[in-house]
Chains A and B, each alone.
Chain A
Amino acid sequence: MTELAETTNGTDTAVAATVPLTLRVNGKDHDTAVEPRELLVDVIRERLGLTGTNVGCETTSCGACTVLLDDRSVKSCTVLAVQAQGREITTIEGLADGNTLHPVQAAFQRCHGLQCGFCTPGMVMASVSLIDEGRATDEKSVRAALKGNLCRCTGYHNIVAAVLSAADEMEADK
């Protein structure tokens, strides 16, 4: 068993103790140091500088902070960074292959599946996962599988179209 940190649970902790942590993000190991209480999304953005992942509601509702943890979509505002040790994290920055967009990114562009764009990184990551799990069978299934991602421009129509288009294309390429 590993004890990663000794911190005090009071307000007198001027500088809380950090512990070394290696996170594997987009296929690359990142050595950093975190407090055990730091959320994965904050570490990804503030310590690793990967700001493509957005912070929205911070209450597990909106899905803007969705990343992949071992290829499954999770809301990174509700995961401690220390819980992600030893796992593969994929963020929106890790999807494209050089200048070639991931098929889901390309479909969002093709179908105009975004308006202001704030929810888009989370929508794309959630969509990659739901397609991978075989949930993109029809419009109703896609809407159900995307219910954890909110678009406050309410632009769901083209988002759903993009997911179905990407799923078709990825199936054809298999």
Chain B
Amino acid sequence: MTPAPFTYYRPTSVADAISLLTEHGDEAKLIAGGHSLLPIMKLRFAAPEVLIDLGGIDDLDHIRVEGDEIAIGALARHVDLELSDLLRAEAPLLAHTAGVVGDCQIRHRGTFGGSVAHGDPSADLPASLMALRGTIVVEGPGGRRSIAVDDFYTGFLETALEPDELVVELRVPRVGDAPWGYQKFRRRGIDWAIVGVAYQSEPGAGGIGLVNMGPTTLRASASEAALRSGASHDEVAALAAEGTSPVGDGAGSSEYRRHLARVLLSRALAGRSTT
């Protein structure tokens, strides 16, 4: 299983990567850890003519405090988030979620920016980014701009990124030890989530992100509204699947996924997390 041929570039700066994107446009794909892109290239579902490897850029893997936010470089790998003492203390939902992605080997290669930019609704980290009301910092020829996670996902594997832009940083608020929970249901440890739920409490409210409950990562808006109005956790969990459109497939019917969303949110609200 070898990918189709491509022209390979290895820029050493974000500016060079943007120049290459500008030059090659839709024919080019970016690769960082490659754990979303290479599997589909090996299956020939994707055959980009140009591959731009971000592995030569060595200054985009930071995890640091900036004011009341944590700034995480797009090239930080899942294991970097999982093992970060800073993230464990300031946004533990995100550190935990990074630790339940795939397996050790996958977490050693996959990057936060890559997972977010790929736009797979089955991915874990975007749901926690949504629960935390994070922002995605992208850079293109005109400079940087920030996109709220709610505005980032536009369709299945589609995002608000322009063809000449790349994700450079992810930002989440410092929430400290406020209650949170991450629930992921799958048959085997290395499977993608059949359904997942990320919950982060906020004063008098809470953020809830849903994995695999529609064509994109989704916000459980009805449950969030119920939380704000002071409803009980049972009432909040009962609304988890409102407004979603999960597919039915070999892993489960759409009604099964709606049931899972309600059960998993109930567990996440109780502060329980899948390991």
Whether B104 pairs with A36 at a CB distance below 8 angstroms is no
Choose from A1, A16, A60 the contact partner of B9 (Cβ within 8 Å): A1
Report B-chain residues with C-beta under 8 Å of the C-beta of A133.
79, 83, 104
Binds A, one of B31-39, B236-244, B263-271: B31-39
Report A-chain residues with C-beta under 8 Å of the C-beta of B10.
1-2, 4, 82, 85
Report B-chain residues with C-beta under 8 Å of the C-beta of A13.
5
Whether B109 pairs with A7 at a CB distance below 8 angstroms is no
CB distance from B58 to the nearest CB of A (A): 10
Specify which of B38, B39, B108 lies most central, judged by the most chain A CB atoms within 10 Å of its CB: B108
Report A-chain residues with C-beta under 8 Å of the C-beta of B2.
37-39, 42
Whether B83 pairs with A35 at a CB distance below 8 angstroms is no
Whether A58 pairs with B55 at a CB distance below 8 angstroms is no
Whether B6 pairs with A75 at a CB distance below 8 angstroms is no
A147 in contact with B103 given A58-B42, A74-B108, A79-B109 (CB within 8 Å): yes
Whether A50 sits at the interface, judged by CB under 8 Å, is no
Specify which of B10, B34, B49, B188 lies most central, judged by the most chain A CB atoms within 10 Å of its CB: B10
Whether B104 pairs with A130 at a CB distance below 8 angstroms is yes
Nearest-neighbor residue (CB-CB) of B13 within chain A? A1
Nearest-neighbor residue (CB-CB) of B54 within chain A? A83
Whether A116 sits at the interface, judged by CB under 8 Å, is no
Report B-chain residues with C-beta under 8 Å of the C-beta of A42.
2
Whether B108 pairs with A78 at a CB distance below 8 angstroms is no
Report A-chain residues with C-beta under 8 Å of the C-beta of B38.
78-80
Q: Which of A61-76 contact B (CB under 8 A)?
A: 61, 63, 66, 69, 72-75
Residue-wise, chain B 27-56 has the 8 Å CB interface mask toward A (1 for contact) of 000010011001100100001010101011
A74 in contact with B105 given A58-B42, A59-B39, A79-B34 (CB within 8 Å): yes
Whether B53 pairs with A148 at a CB distance below 8 angstroms is no
> What is the CA–CA distance of A135 and B104 in the complex, to the nearest angstrom?
10
CB distance from A72 to the nearest CB of B (A): 4
Nearest-neighbor residue (CB-CB) of B58 within chain A? A86
Report B-chain residues with C-beta under 8 Å of the C-beta of A97.
none
CB distance from A93 to the nearest CB of B (A): 19
> What is the CA–CA distance of A42 and B2 in the complex, to the nearest angstrom?
9
> What is the CA–CA distance of A80 and B12 in the complex, to the nearest angstrom?
18
Whether B232 sits at the interface, judged by CB under 8 Å, is no
Whether B35 pairs with A60 at a CB distance below 8 angstroms is yes
CB distance from A55 to the nearest CB of B (A): 10
CB distance from A91 to the nearest CB of B (A): 14
Residue-wise, chain B 87-127 has the 8 Å CB interface mask toward A (1 for contact) of 00000000000000011111011000000000000000000
CB distance from A32 to the nearest CB of B (A): 15
Whether A37 pairs with B104 at a CB distance below 8 angstroms is no
CB distance from A4 to the nearest CB of B (A): 5
Whether B105 pairs with A75 at a CB distance below 8 angstroms is yes
Whether B34 pairs with A7 at a CB distance below 8 angstroms is no
Choose from A6, A35, A69, A75 the contact partner of B106 (Cβ within 8 Å): A75
A60 in contact with B106 given A1-B11, A16-B5, A83-B55 (CB within 8 Å): yes
Query: Which 6 interchain pairs have the tightest Cβ spacing?
Result: A148-B103, A36-B8, A147-B189, A7-B5, A72-B108, A1-B11
| A59-B42, A60-B102 known, 16 other contacts, Cβ within 8 Å | A1-B16, A2-B56, A3-B8, A5-B8, A9-B49, A16-B5, A19-B8, A36-B51, A39-B42, A72-B79, A74-B109, A78-B34, A126-B104, A133-B104, A147-B189, A148-B105
